[in-house]
């Protein structure tokens, strides 16, 4: 065979690489200024955040409720503690927008100190859990646990807000929304991989193994974030001097929420986030207590959730490429969430782990669609000099309402279960009552989210590039299948 007719050895790998990139949601976010390889390396900080979120809201809540016997309401409260930092995400984003640094950096100092706090929280968390497992040191363990959860939460809120703002700095204006959306895809990839890896490591559960897993996550957080930050933000001399005429946070925030459409969008985001999040501290204990699943099997529920969310990001990316309205995508996510919670409701009476896994996947799918739709809408409202504020506002409302939903869900589950178990006979159905009641409330919240987001669709859009031909049509509950 002549050289001219001989197939090139590089053609196959190149073709495979291009096909793989085509399957990656928002891979078209790459640009000359921010190539895909550099953007994916930057996204490693999202992988570390996803790993921390799996540990806090997935593995540890199951271990504390089932293995350590900690009350569900207390575990839910601990998981919600990191959300205390969430309302300040808009302020964090604004401060990183205006940060004065002797080195000429805006975002790097925030990402670095956020990483240190994230590492510190994970490093002391195993010792707090050991104290929680002993009755004579329960109060000390509770205080240490709250401190560890709070430190970890502050760390990943600061890291994530500044990191997303850095991506908007690096990407050209027309690519910013999709670049930020790609970073959220990587957050879900990190959550999915972490859930399956942690679940596999904890199949043979022991306190020592749990300590090793958490400490390994702390070390990996530092490594991933250092690699992500390396040579990403250029030093700029103008960032070493203060600008006295720059508007204050209060002025910018007032201008942002003064628009009634923006305020309604944030309201819809908050309702939807709470509706999806109330189950965060309940899904794994539900699988363990009601369906008898192991620690590894219930941790895999988080992986199923993350896989569903990744599919949601893929579908939303393709829909946006076809010109669909982002808020229609968000509304579709709420509808998927409704069906997910109906499936989970029936998992207990049917004794079906499969229905539980399908429900967890659909929750992720619905949340993925909802998050992308509202995120793209928020990014369309942002300007480069206020990108941190816009992203911070989106993240602050979402995380705050999600945290409140987690805490409320745990408290309601315990209260309703206590009332239901007041009778003489305690059955499996009675034990499930607290969980299923919360799932019904989540269904009602998602319906309320649909009602809130409906009037926004297709009206007064500032960026018609992302809206399709149907953007101007009316949108409401009647347009969705029952």
Give the pLDDT confidence of 6-30 residue by residue, as tens digits.
Answer: 545 455 444 544 554 555 666 667 6
Closest to 105 (Cα-Cα) out of 220, 223, 8, 236? 236
Average pLDDT, the chain: 76
74-88, 262-276, 381-395: range with highest mean pLDDT: 262-276
- pLDDT of res. 336: 94
Query: Looking at the predicted structure, is the pLDDT value of residue 238 above 60?
Result: no
Model confidence at 335, pLDDT cuts 50, 70, 90, reads very high
Which of 250-264, 333-347, 407-421 has the weakest average pLDDT?
250-264
Query: Looking at the predicted structure, is the pLDDT value of residue 388 above 90?
Result: no
Model confidence at 338, pLDDT cuts 50, 70, 90, reads very high
Query: Looking at the predicted structure, is the pLDDT value of residue 469 above 70?
Result: no
Which of 135-144, 235-244, 268-277, 412-421 has the weakest average pLDDT?
235-244
The stretch 350-377 carries a mean pLDDT of: 88
- pLDDT of res. 16: 42
The stretch 169-196 carries a mean pLDDT of: 80
Query: Looking at the predicted structure, is the pLDDT value of residue 222 above 90?
Result: yes
Higher pLDDT, 2 or 326: 326
> Dihedral sign, CA of 323, 177, 224, 393?
negative
- pLDDT of res. 339: 93
Q: From CA 179, how far away is CA 170, in angstroms rounded?
A: 9
- pLDDT of res. 220: 93
Give the tens place of pLDDT for each residue, 50-92.
888 888 877 776 677 776 777 777 777 777 777 777 777 777 7
The stretch 460-472 carries a mean pLDDT of: 42
Query: Which pTM was predicted?
Result: 0.67
- pLDDT of res. 340: 93
Higher pLDDT, 61 or 175: 175
Higher pLDDT, 102 or 59: 59
Cβ atoms of residues 367 and 329 within 8 Å: no
- pLDDT of res. 18: 54
Share of the chain above pLDDT 70, in %: 75
The stretch 286-308 carries a mean pLDDT of: 79
Burial class (CB in 10 A: 0-12, 13-18, 19+), 69: exposed
Closest to 221 (Cα-Cα) out of 315, 296, 151? 151
Cα 238–240–246 angle (5° rounding)? 70
* CA–CA distances in Å: residue 176 to residues 92, 108, 196, 468: 19, 19, 31, 19
- DSSP labels, 184-252: HHHHHHHHHHHHHHHHHHTSS--HHHHHHHHHHHHHHHHHHHHHHHTT-SPP-GGGGS--TTSPPHHHH
Cβ atoms of residues 51 and 115 within 8 Å: no
Strand, coil or helix: 75: helix
Share of the chain above pLDDT 90, in %: 12
Which of 4-13, 217-226, 266-275, 405-414 has the weakest average pLDDT?
4-13
Query: Looking at the predicted structure, is the pLDDT value of residue 319 above 80?
Result: yes
- pLDDT of res. 429: 52
Query: Looking at the predicted structure, is the pLDDT value of residue 430 above 70?
Result: no
The stretch 410-424 carries a mean pLDDT of: 76
Q: From CA 480, how far away is CA 474, in angstroms rounded?
A: 12
Q: From CA 231, how far away is CA 214, in angstroms rounded?
A: 29
What's the Rg (C-alpha) of the chain? 23
Residue 185: which residues within 8 A CB-CB, separation 6 or more? 24, 25, 26, 310, 313
- pLDDT of res. 377: 81
Closest to 316 (Cα-Cα) out of 398, 373, 359? 373
Higher pLDDT, 106 or 385: 106
Model confidence at 245, pLDDT cuts 50, 70, 90, reads low
The stretch 431-456 carries a mean pLDDT of: 88
Query: Looking at the predicted structure, is the pLDDT value of residue 190 above 90?
Result: no
The stretch 156-169 carries a mean pLDDT of: 83
The stretch 129-143 carries a mean pLDDT of: 79
- pLDDT of res. 310: 80
- pLDDT of res. 464: 40
Q: From CA 300, how far away is CA 306, in angstroms rounded?
A: 10
Tokens (6 digits) for 435: 């969980």
Query: Looking at the predicted structure, is the pLDDT value of residue 311 above 50?
Result: yes
Query: Looking at the predicted structure, is the pLDDT value of residue 116 above 60?
Result: yes
Query: Looking at the predicted structure, is the pLDDT value of residue 446 above 90?
Result: yes
Query: Looking at the predicted structure, is the pLDDT value of residue 442 above 90?
Result: yes
The stretch 293-317 carries a mean pLDDT of: 81
- DSSP labels, 119-152: HHHHHHHHHHHHHHTSGGGHHHHHHHHHHHHHHH
- pLDDT of res. 325: 86
Closest to 347 (Cα-Cα) out of 273, 427, 293, 295? 293
Model confidence at 103, pLDDT cuts 50, 70, 90, reads low
Torsion of CA 219, 394, 43, 304, to 10 degrees: 80
Q: From CA 232, how far away is CA 236, in angstroms rounded?
A: 13
Closest to 49 (Cα-Cα) out of 162, 205, 175? 162
Cβ atoms of residues 20 and 243 within 8 Å: no
CB atoms under 10 Å from CB of 378, counted, come to 24
């Amino acid at each position: 065979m002549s050289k001219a007719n001989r197939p090139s050895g590089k053609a196959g790998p190149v073709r495979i690489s291009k096909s793989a990139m085509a399957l990656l949601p928002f891979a078209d976010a790459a640009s000359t200024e921010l190539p895909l390889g550099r953007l994916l390396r930057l996204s490693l900080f999202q992988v570390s955040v996803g790993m921390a979120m799996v540990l806090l809201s997935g593995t540890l809540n199951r271990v504390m409720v089932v293995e350590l016997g900690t009350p569900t309401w207390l575990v839910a409260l601990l998981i919600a503690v990191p959300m205390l930092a969430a309302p300040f995400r808009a302020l964090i984003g604004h401060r990183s927008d205006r940060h004065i640094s002797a080195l000429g950096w805006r975002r790097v100092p925030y990402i670095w100190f956020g990483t240190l706090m994230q590492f510190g929280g994970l490093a002391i968390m195993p010792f707090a859990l050991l104290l929680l497992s002993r009755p004579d040191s329960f109060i000390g363990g509770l205080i240490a646990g709250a401190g560890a959860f709070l430190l970890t939460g502050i760390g990943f809120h600061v890291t994530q807000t500044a990191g997303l703002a850095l991506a908007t700095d690096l990407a050209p204006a027309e690519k910013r929304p999709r670049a930020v959306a790609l970073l959220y895809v990587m957050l879900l990839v990190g959550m999915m991989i972490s859930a399956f890896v942690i679940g596999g490591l904890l199949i043979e559960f022991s306190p020592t193994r749990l300590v090793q897993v958490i400490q390994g996550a702390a070390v990996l957080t530092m490594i991933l974030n250092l690699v992500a930050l390396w040579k990403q933000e250029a030093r700029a001399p103008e960032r070493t001097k203060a600008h006295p005429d720059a508007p204050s946070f209060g002025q910018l925030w007032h201008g942002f929420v003064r628009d009634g459409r923006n305020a309604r969008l944030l309201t819809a985001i908050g309702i939807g986030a709470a509706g999806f999040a109330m189950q965060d501290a309940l899904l794994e204990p539900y699988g363990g207590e009601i369906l008898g699943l192991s620690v590894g099997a219930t941790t895999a529920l988080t992986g199923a959730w993350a896989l569903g969310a990744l599919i949601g990001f893929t579908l939303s990316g393709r829909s946006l490429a076809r010109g669909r309205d982002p808020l229609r995508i968000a509304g579709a996510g709420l509808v998927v969430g409704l069906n997910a919670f109906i499936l989970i409701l029936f998992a207990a009476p049917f004794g079906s782990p499969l229905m539980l896994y399908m429900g967890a996947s659909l929750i992720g799918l619905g949340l993925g669609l909802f998050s992308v739709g509202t995120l793209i809408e928020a990014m369309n409202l942002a300007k480069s000099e206020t990108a941190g504020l816009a992203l911070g506002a989106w993240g602050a409302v979402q995380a705050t309402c999600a945290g409140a939903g987690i805490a409320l869900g745990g408290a309601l589950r315990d209260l309703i279960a206590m009332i239901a178990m007041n009778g003489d006979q305690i059955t499996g159905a009675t034990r499930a009552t607290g969980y299923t009641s919360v799932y019904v409330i989540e269904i009602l919240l998602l319906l309320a989210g649909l009602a809130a987001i409906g009037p926004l669709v297709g009206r007064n859009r500032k960026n018609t590039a992302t809206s399709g031909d149907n953007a101007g049509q009316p949108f409401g509950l009647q347009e969705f299948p029952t």
